Amino acid sequence: MLNSMSRNIKILFAVFSILFLSLIAYLSYFQLYEKNKLITSSYSVYNKRLIEQEKKILRGSIYDRNGNVLAKSTIVNGEQIRQYLDGVPFANIIGYSRRIYQQGSTGIENTYDRELLGMINTDPMTFLRETVLGKSQTGDDVVLTVDKRLQDLAYNLLGGRKGAVVALNPKTGEVLALVSSPSYDPNTLGEKWNSTMNSPDHLVLNRATQGLYPPGSIFKIVTASAALTYKPDIYNQVFNDTGYVIVDGNKITNYKSIAYGTIGFQKAFYVSSNTSFVKIGLQIGRNDLESMADKYGLNESVPFDISVAKNQFPSIPLIGGKVQLAESSIGQGKILVTPLTMALMASAPANGGVIMKPYLMDYVKNPVTGEILEKTTPEKYLNPISKDVADKIKQLMIGVVQQGTGTAAQIPGITVAGKTGTAENPQGQAHAWFVGFAPAENPKIVVAVIVENGGSGGAVAAPIAREIIRAYLGY
Amino acid sequence: MEEYVKTGSKAMKDIFLIFVIAFMLLFIYHKPKGFDTIYFTLAFLPLIYIVYYLHVRLFPMGEIQLIILSSFLAEMGLIMIYRVAPDLILKQIAWIFIGFILYFVSSYVSKYYDFFYNVKYGNYVYLAISFILLFSTFVLGKEIGGSKNWLTFGSISVQPSEIVKIIYIIFLARYLKDNKTTKDIIKVGAITIVIVGILVIEKDLGTALLFYLTTTFMIFAATSSLLYTTASVAFLGFGGGISYFLFNHVRVRIQAWLNPWMDVPGKTYQIAQSLFAIGAGGFFGTGLGMGHPEYIPVVASDFIFSAISEEFGMLGSVAIILVYFVIMYRGIKVALDAKDDFGALIAVGLTSMFSLQVFTIIGGVIKFIPLTGVTLPFVSYGGSSMVMSFITLGMLNGIAVREDEDVEQYEPQH
């Protein structure tokens, strides 16, 4: 045989050796790195092995801030059963798990799925080995910031009407209550899947985070913020309120067309004068109003533990946008916001101009040892206004409750600050809005209430907020 | 020689033990349907011992490792096939039996491999047979598992491309031994591209790749030309690119390789399930019968390596790779020791085809390279593959024996 061929064959041997070794190298790489991704990523939905193994894990419980059990798992006849102890009022927060209904997951059950399965801080190798060995595992417990008492109260106050309530601590962003009404019972969701999912009342829509509504007059907080920040002299202007104003041929009226005569900025805010605020908005101009709306997060999705809808503040066209600017100044037109966002908006004046990032999960703990495995630390989310402007708006909101449209929110012994809204909408009667906080000197709770097609914000929404504040502060 | 047989006997004992332990476990997990299953399964043990001793007797200077290692691989295949699809095991044992017979037949025939060279108009004859077999599937073919490359006779399905593999290697060896000018290489390259094209159209991408690379390697061995090799690899990239845009089935494979999570319930279901299985196995495996390889589609044939990875872990699957490595090494050794260029080229071709097939399917199921459906020699379920794998090793043994027997002629006679 030719020498050259013998050399070539040896080269081929080297090539094949490299090919075989690369297989071994890739397998090692796969087992060391890629594999972990497979077990913990969302793709694991398709891994029937994990689903089999997860059935053996006793899913963790969910608690409210005071240690009340909201969801727990028990074994009945060898089958794991998930119980929701305060099912209906909490359904929009806690949601359900595909591991129970096989059809998608929502809410806390979805977001903290891995925690509830005890898969955090456990390396996948140990996890697999333990499950293969048949050791029964327990998941970790999730403790929420929500107060069961407030949640139940708020749900009952809505009394089956369509609407939402959001209550939070403005200093930390802890969500104290997040109610969507009407709701469904997750304990019987399996049997009533179709009727629940296709309900004309949209039972599974979380109105507090996914409902998009025109804000109406509560948006005047943003307009006032823009005025005080960009055109401070507006604060001292005087307006002639005739009950209506005409912008490019369009007539915009006050609520019930009441004419307030000659009024200052403060009075215009207390009585929620549309006529004056349209004039204010036109002075601020589209750039500054849009800029302030952006600072309040009205063009984004709020970062949150459960899914939220994106707020919408469409930009106002430079040419021919005068009517839209006028409507936007009083929270009408094309603006759409979620109740959660409105609670955050009201927390800016309550917290010196800073909006804290809202959160539902306080901490995750090991049910046996009590060891805290994850803990949310409060963090700043937005800072739309200065401390100075925040204090001025707070004073304006105190005036609303003391002598304006929000007197129904008064509580003897506590200074409540607030703003009402009565948002016109194409669906029928106006939506009743109220946002407010208390005690005004040292705010501990911010509340946003909406009752769909409820009518006047001052008459319908403000009393609900009052009861929630009263219950929380213990008056 | 004494030493040799001793090592061989020891290996056979290990194979025996593994078999007994594995099937004891399996018979507990999956109760056999009837006694015939147990008898036939147990018949595998005397079968491999008879084959082993026959080999020592008939080919004292033969490549005994080849028969030991292929017995081990076939055994691993039987274990996994019984694990995932017990009904298939009797057929598989029958194919192993036929495979052993054809191993000896091809060993004897290949001892006289000069005959392949001396056939009149050999090149035309081999090419004619190859093309007739390949085209036969267009006319009579049946689509199985997404590829239209099967011929069915009653209950038996044959993959003609498996037979063409060997005929084409003999053709290439015969042709390349004498024709090494650029013009000749272009000619043989063109013929290969036609064959590869037919296979791509039949959706047999894996086999197409095997033909292409085997031809490339044989041309390199015969001509030492880096130019041809580089040109060939460049053309592979070019052709691959064209077929990516031309054929949907090529595109799907490549996309599934780049992102196996793109469409798990649909297009990438197979590769995703394979990766889950390998991941579940980890380094030590779940243990035989403790995993869920039944979640992997076509697990008995194309994905048997994933099943082994799950239950025997990375250690077990690397052991399998190393067994193939040793077989490849023996094949190279046969090529190096061959008496003449023709024998060496056949051995290079057979070894290349075999090793590349192993690389293609293992690399495919672990997502190292795009997945193409070829079988894992000796382990996967399937008759054509089993028989042709045994014939491949039989021919290597024949070429080796030929060499050794010639040497013996020069030894003084007692």
pLDDT tens digit sequence for A116-140: 887 765 555 555 555 555 555 778 9
Query: A341-354 pLDDT, tens per residue?
Result: 999 999 999 999 99
User: Which stretch, A37-46, A149-158, B204-213, B275-284, has highest mean pLDDT?
Assistant: A149-158
- Mean pLDDT value of segment A218-235: 96
Which residue does chain A place closest to B266, by CA atoms? A46
pLDDT for A133: 59
Instruction: Please count the residues of chain A.
Output: 475
- Mean pLDDT value of segment A395-423: 95
Residue B155 confidence (pLDDT) above 70: no
Handedness of CA B138, B143, B148, B151 (dihedral sign): negative
Mutate to test the interface with A, among B177, B262, B276 (most CBs of A within 10 A): B276
B363 touches chain A (CB under 8 A): yes
Chain A residues with CB under 8 Å of B217 CB are: 12, 15
Angle between helices A387-403 and A339-350 (to 10 degrees): 110
DSSP string, B299-333: TTTTTHHHHHHHHHHHHHHHHHHHHHHHHHHHHHH
Q: How far apart are CA B101 and CA B50, in angstroms?
A: 11
Chain B residues with CB under 8 Å of A27 CB are: 278, 309, 314, 317-318, 366
Residue B369 confidence (pLDDT) above 80: yes
pLDDT for B377: 95
CA dist B280 to A43, B127, B210, B262, Å?
A: 14, 46, 30, 21
pLDDT for B357: 96
Residue A143 or A118, more confident: A143
> Partners of A141 in the beta sheet?
A365
- Mean pLDDT value of segment A430-452: 96
Question: From the CA atom positions of chain B, what is the Rg in Å?
Answer: 21
Q: Which of A10, A12, A48 lies nearest to residue B295, judging by beta carbons?
A: A48
Query: A194-212 pLDDT, tens per residue?
Result: 888 888 999 999 999 999 9
B window 62-121, beta carbon within 8 A of A = none
Which residue does chain A place closest to B270, by CA atoms? A46
pLDDT for B409: 46
Residue B411 confidence (pLDDT) above 50: no
Residue A153 confidence (pLDDT) above 90: yes
Mean pLDDT of chain A: 90
Contacts of A133 (CB under 8 A, 6+ apart): none
Q: Are A409 and A389 in contact (CB under 8 A)?
A: no
- Mean pLDDT value of segment A459-465: 96
On whether the A151-359+382-473 domain is CATH 3.30.1390.20, my answer is no
Q: Quick check: pTM over 0.80?
A: no
Q: How far apart are CA B367 and CA A225, in angstroms?
A: 57
Contacts of B268 (CB under 8 A, 6+ apart): B256, B259, B260, B261, B262
DSSP string, B57-80: HH-TTS-HHHHHHHHHHHHHHHHH
pLDDT for B310: 93
Name the DSSP class of A252.
E
pLDDT for A206: 95
pLDDT for A435: 97
CA A138 to chain centre: 30
Residue B404 confidence (pLDDT) above 70: no
Query: B165-193 pLDDT, tens per residue?
Result: 999 999 999 999 888 888 989 999 999 99
pLDDT for B410: 43
Percentage of residues of chain B with pLDDT beyond 70? 92
Mutate to test the interface with A, among B224, B232, B310 (most CBs of A within 10 A): B224
Residue B298 or B328, more confident: B328
Report how many Cβ contacts below 8 Å link chain A to chain B: 120
- Specify the range with the lowest mean pLDDT, choosing from A470-474, B44-48, B107-111, B407-411: B407-411
Residue A209 or B296, more confident: A209
Within A265-330, where are the H helices?
A: 265-270, 274-284, 286-295, 322-329
- Mean pLDDT value of segment B55-82: 92
Query: B16-50 pLDDT, tens per residue?
Result: 999 999 998 888 877 777 777 888 888 999 999 99
> For the purposes of burial, counting CB atoms within 10 Å of the CB of B217, is it exposed (0-12), middle (13-18) or buried (19 or more)?
buried
pLDDT for A130: 59
- Specify the range with the lowest mean pLDDT, choosing from A139-153, A270-284, B151-165: B151-165
Chain A residues with CB under 8 Å of B323 CB are: none
pLDDT for A290: 95
Model confidence at B414, pLDDT cuts 50, 70, 90, reads very low
φ, ψ of residue A81 to 5 degrees: the values are -120, 135
A361-365 vs B156-158, strand pairing mode? unpaired
Model confidence at B123, pLDDT cuts 50, 70, 90, reads confident
pLDDT for B412: 43
- Mean pLDDT value of segment B296-303: 89
Amino acid at site A137:
Q
B257 touches chain A (CB under 8 A): no
Mutate to test the interface with B, among A7, A12, A128 (most CBs of B within 10 A): A12
Residue A451 confidence (pLDDT) above 70: yes
Percentage of residues of chain A with pLDDT beyond 90? 71
Q: Which of B272, B282, B341 lies nearest to residue A1, judging by beta carbons?
A: B341
B336 touches chain A (CB under 8 A): yes
- Any idea which residue has 């009952």 for tokens? A156
B219 touches chain A (CB under 8 A): no
Percentage of residues of chain A with pLDDT beyond 70? 92
Smallest Cα distance from A12 to chain B, Å: 7
Q: How far apart are CA A11 and CA B232, in angstroms?
A: 17
Can you read off the two tokens belonging to residue B220?
A: 């390199």
Mean pLDDT of chain B: 88
Smallest Cα distance from B389 to chain A, Å: 18
Contacts of A233 (CB under 8 A, 6+ apart): none
Query: Which of these is catalytic: A183, A217, A276, A456?
Result: A217
- Mean pLDDT value of segment A146-169: 96
Model confidence at B373, pLDDT cuts 50, 70, 90, reads confident
Model confidence at B240, pLDDT cuts 50, 70, 90, reads confident
SS3 B46: helix
Which residue does chain A place closest to B341, by CA atoms? A1
Can you read off the two tokens belonging to residue B298?
A: 């076509």
- Mean pLDDT value of segment A364-389: 92
Residue B390 confidence (pLDDT) above 80: yes
> Per the CB < 8 Å rule, is B332 touching A9?
yes
Concerning whether A136 is annotated as a catalytic residue, the answer is no
Which helix or strand (DSSP H or E) is residue B181 part of?
Answer: none
- Mean pLDDT value of segment B382-397: 94
- Mean pLDDT value of segment A39-65: 76
